[in-house]
Amino acid sequence: MSGRLEHKVAIITGAGSGIGRAAALLFASEGANLVLGDKSAAVHDTARRVVEAGGAATALQIDAGLESDVALLVATAKSAYGQLDVAFANAGISGGRDGIFDLTPEVWTEILRVNLIGPWLMVKHAGKAMADAGRGGSIICTASVAGIRSGAGGPAYSASKAGVINLAMVSAQQLCETNVRVNAICPGLTETGMTRPTFEYAKDKGVSHKLGRLNPLRRAAQPDELAQVALFLASDQSSYVNGQAIAVDGGLSSSHPVTRQMTGQTAV
C-alpha cells in the first residue's frame, strides 16, 4: 500500500526538533523525499533518523527568516529530487512573554522576521515553484492559538502568529487557479524545544500535571499529534481544504475565559 506522500517532495523548516522533527519522520514514513531546514545542527540528526528508517532526506542549516536561505531550500528540493510538492513553514521563536511596555522594537522585529516573514518567504518561493511547475501543491504554516485570541503568548509572538493566520488566507486567494493550497496549523501548548523551559519549570516545581489543564482534554500535546494534522494538509486527502487556520489545541480556543466558582458553577 502506497504512503499518502508517495512520489512527493517536501520541505520542512524547524526540523531540528519538536513538531518539525516529528513531521519529518512521519512524512518520510508516508513516502516523501525531504529537504529539512533548521538553524540548529540538530537538523542533521533528524535527517540521519529519516535515512536510517529507509527514507530520503537532505539537511541544511538555514535561517528560515532569511530570503536567500529559503530560496536555497526550494532550489535544493528541485535539484536533489526534481520537484517540490509540499512546504511546511514550521520554524518559529517564542520571544518570551514580556509585556507591551517592556518589549523593544528590536525584539518585535526579530520575532516578526522569523515567525511571519519566514512563512511569507516560503509562500513566495515555494508557491512560485509549485505554480510554475503546474502540478499544484500544499503549503502549511505553523501559526498558534496565540494568534487566534489573547492569553496564549506574549504580545509580539501573538501578533506574529495572527499574521501567519491571515497570510494563509491571503496567500490562498493570491494563488487562485494554481491548485497550490495554503493553510495554517494553530497548535496549543505542545512539548517542543521552544516550550521546554515551561515543561522543565513545571517538572522542577512538581506541577507537571497542571500543564494543559485549561483545555477540555486537560493535557498538553505531543509533537506527533501536530505532525498528523500537517500530514493531512500535505496529502491529497485535504485537496479541498484551502485558506484555513486549524486549531489543534485540545479545545482551548473553543471557549471564552470563564471564572470557576467554588460551587462548581461557572460565570462569564
The catalytic residue positions are: 157
What's the rounded Cα separation, in Å, for the pair 156 and 127? Answer: 26
**Per DSSP, what are the bridge partners of residue 59?**
36
Q: What is the DSSP letter of 122?
A: H
**Per DSSP, what are the bridge partners of residue 186?**
247
Half-sphere exposure of 93 (CA within 13 A, CB side): 19
The 3-state DSSP class for residue 6 equals: coil
Angstrom CA distances, 186 to 166, 204, 252, stand at 12, 28, 11
What's the rounded Cα separation, in Å, for the pair 178 and 138? Answer: 11
What's the rounded Cα separation, in Å, for the pair 239 and 235? Answer: 7
In the chain, the amino acid numbered 179 is N
Cell for 117? 516573514
